[in-house]
A = this chain, B = another copy of it.
Amino acid sequence: MLKKCPLVLASALLLATSAQAQNIPKHVAAEATALRDQAMHDTIAFDLVESLSMEVGPRSAGSAGDKAAVAWAVQKLTELGFENVHTEEVDVPHWDRGTLNANIVTPFVRSLVATSLGGSPGTPADGIEAEVVRVESLVGLRALSNDELVGKILYVDHEMQRAKDGGGYSTAGRIRTCAHYIAAERGALATVIRSAGTSEHRVAHTGTMLNKDIPPTIPAIALANADADMLTYQVQSGKPVSMSLLSTAQHRPREKSANVIGEIQGQGDLAHEVVLLAAHLDSWDLGTGAIDDGAGVAIVTAAAKMIMNSGDAPRRTIRVVLFANEEFGLDGAKEYERNHAASIKDHVIGIEADFGAGRVWRFSSQVADDALGLVDEIHALLAPIGLERGNNKAGGGADLSPMRKVGMPVFSITHDGTYYFDYHHTPDDTLDKINRDDLNQSVAAYVTVAFVAANIRDDFGRLQPYTRRERTCSAEDDNWVS
């Protein structure tokens, strides 16, 4: 249990601590450690992700599932005893995947496992049938002669590799968002990509195709890896390859969704300051959003609930924000930054869980330089459960980016992403992919960090606000490192 010490006792404790642990009072470290170890055997997080994925399931922006998820979150946060539970309305797009038929027509007929990319227009009602032009990269695409794509279907055959930090997603994601734009400019009728994922199974990977240039104007689909193999085999036979596509994807009228917020209100002179725990409530529609981002919802909610249960109120307010529509435009995050513009200065730290349910292995930060000693002390509490200390260039997660840009410091508690992109954005994102022990180890890290951040006097400073030029689909931006 957290016991707030009288000042004199706290001072005595501080004197007794080592030089390396001068910022975290001993009793705070002790309580954080106890919560950390308790989390390893808890059931809250799994129960939450089970309920969300099994009872709500798919919940893409604007869908009926999205509305059901908002209602689910309000009910859960209320039942769990959070304070100030409320929604903040967010205007979201509503893209409807419809149905898709994708086939190789010549030389060897084959029905393909494929899915439309988020935001893709449908095909004409009688479909598209055209010859396929294959490239392996955006560089290869740009190297085609100007008329080579006119009336054709572009096929970008880039194979994403597994990596612990998910690093392969950067290139694969850029192909997903930019190939269709470049192809459309050159007169292509449609774009086909090998899935921006690492699954060896017959599931295709969706994800947004939006970029900063123009709205999608030609249909774009992703093939399962085995199906991309089939298409590549046929192209490499040297015979002309043609495909047919028939898609009923379409944009529907915009809908209302909401960020869902619950708090553990702080007590005392720091109560107006906020430790922001974030995840996103929406998911893509193919799976049940168990790992993306049901796991994140469960991890941050469970961490906060454990702090709530641990005794006295924290010094700072712990605010759980479950963001609307991360996947297809980051609308919830942007709306939150607008709604709370005046008080972002009081958000002392933001921590988002949005990289699956693997074991967490790295703790990195983006904080003021003079707070790095404090971050090292927090890391010392995480090292026993297997976390390395990362650098001070943490991104903090997509939903936190609007707040980070105006100065909010962030932590990244990074999950092992080796197999994340086997499941992410595919029908395979289901509850059975979550290991309870790994999930609990993540909760243990989050509860430790959140508890310390909410219960110390020190903070993490502020970041320099910045306005970043948005990356475009021009060649100059291909090697942009964010």
Residues of B within 8 A of A202 (CB): 201, 203, 287, 426-428, 430
Cα–Cα distance between A202 and B288 once the two chains are bound (Å): 11
Residues of B within 8 A of A287 (CB): 202
Cα–Cα distance between A56 and B56 once the two chains are bound (Å): 41
Instruction: Spot the interface stretch: A28-36, A222-230, A407-415.
Output: A222-230
Closest B residue to A199 by CB, please name it: B201
- Choose among B201, B229, B427, B430 the residue that contacts A428 (Cβ–Cβ < 8 A): B201
Cα–Cα distance between A432 and B200 once the two chains are bound (Å): 8
Proximity bits, A199-240, B CB within 8 Å = 1, else 0:
111110000000000000000000001100110011000000
| A108 near B54: Cβ-Cβ < 8 Å | yes
Residues of B within 8 A of A229 (CB): 430-432
**With A50-B233, A229-B430 already in contact, 14 other A-B pairs whose C-beta atoms are closer than 8 Å:** A54-B108, A54-B233, A54-B234, A55-B108, A113-B427, A199-B201, A201-B202, A201-B428, A202-B287, A203-B203, A226-B428, A226-B431, A226-B432, A229-B432
Q: Given A226-B431, A430-B226, is A108 in contact with B201 using a C-beta cutoff of 8 Å?
A: no
**A119 on the interface (CB 8 Å rule)?**
no
| B57 near A110: Cβ-Cβ < 8 Å | yes
- Choose among B57, B108, B113 the residue that contacts A108 (Cβ–Cβ < 8 A): B57
| B230 near A54: Cβ-Cβ < 8 Å | yes
Residues of B within 8 A of A109 (CB): 57, 64
Residues facing B in A29-85 (CB within 8 A) are: 50, 54-58, 64
* Pairs A-B, 5 closest by C-beta atoms: A202-B427, A201-B201, A226-B430, A54-B233, A55-B108
Residues of B within 8 A of A64 (CB): 109
| B200 near A108: Cβ-Cβ < 8 Å | no
Q: Which of A111, A199, A202, A428 has the largest count of B CB atoms less than 10 A from its CB?
A: A202
Closest B residue to A108 by CB, please name it: B55
Cα–Cα distance between A1 and B431 once the two chains are bound (Å): 57
Residues facing B in A261-275 (CB within 8 A) are: none
Residues facing B in A330-379 (CB within 8 A) are: none
Proximity bits, A262-305, B CB within 8 Å = 1, else 0:
00000000000000000000000001100000000000000000
| B200 near A230: Cβ-Cβ < 8 Å | no
Closest B residue to A113 by CB, please name it: B427
Residues of B within 8 A of A430 (CB): 202, 226, 229-230
Cα–Cα distance between A54 and B229 once the two chains are bound (Å): 9
Residues facing B in A154-204 (CB within 8 A) are: 199-203
Residues of B within 8 A of A288 (CB): 110, 230
Q: Smallest distance from the beta carbon of A288 to chain B beta carbons, Å?
A: 7
Closest B residue to A233 by CB, please name it: B54
Cα–Cα distance between A64 and B368 once the two chains are bound (Å): 67
Cα–Cα distance between A454 and B148 once the two chains are bound (Å): 57
| B226 near A108: Cβ-Cβ < 8 Å | no
Residues of B within 8 A of A428 (CB): 201-202, 226
Residues of B within 8 A of A110 (CB): 57, 288
Closest B residue to A65 by CB, please name it: B109
Residues facing B in A430-468 (CB within 8 A) are: 430-433
Closest B residue to A202 by CB, please name it: B427
Closest B residue to A50 by CB, please name it: B233
